[in-house]
Amino acid sequence: MKPDDSISAELGPHLEAGEAADIDLVAARLQAAHPIPRAAFRASLRARLSKLPADRIWPKARLRAHVAAYAAASSLLFAVAALGLADIGPLAP
């Protein structure tokens, strides 16, 4: 792991040198011990996914409806948050 690529570098200047080194050691151990699924599991998963019926895949129209619904819900939540920040909404202090 390069010094500029370390986990402790992402945490900024809030760490002491000893803590940064400890965090980098733990990060290196976790990356080295990252488990890779067995080949038999990967083959089994691939077989199960390839056998899924075609109707399980969302058609474009249904996907567009879901995207539109999520966009509308998030817009509503942003509007409520903006009203709260303006001290006039249902969440105003």
List, for residues 43-90, the tens digit of each pLDDT value. Answer: 999 998 888 776 666 677 788 889 999 999 999 999 988 888 888 877
Measured between alpha carbons, how far is 23 from 31 in angstroms, rounded to an integer? 12
Asked whether the whole model's pTM tops 0.75, one would answer no
Domain residue limits, the chain: 3-32, 39-85
What is the per-residue pLDDT for 93?
66
- Please state, in angstroms and rounded to a whole number, the distance separating the CA atoms of residues 20 and 8: 5
What is the model's pLDDT at position 54? Answer: 67
* Residue 57: per-residue pLDDT: 67
d(CA 23, CA 17): 10
Name the pLDDT band for 16 (thresholds 50, 70, 90).
confident
Instruction: Measure the CA–CA gap between 92 and 76, rounded to whole angstroms.
Output: 16
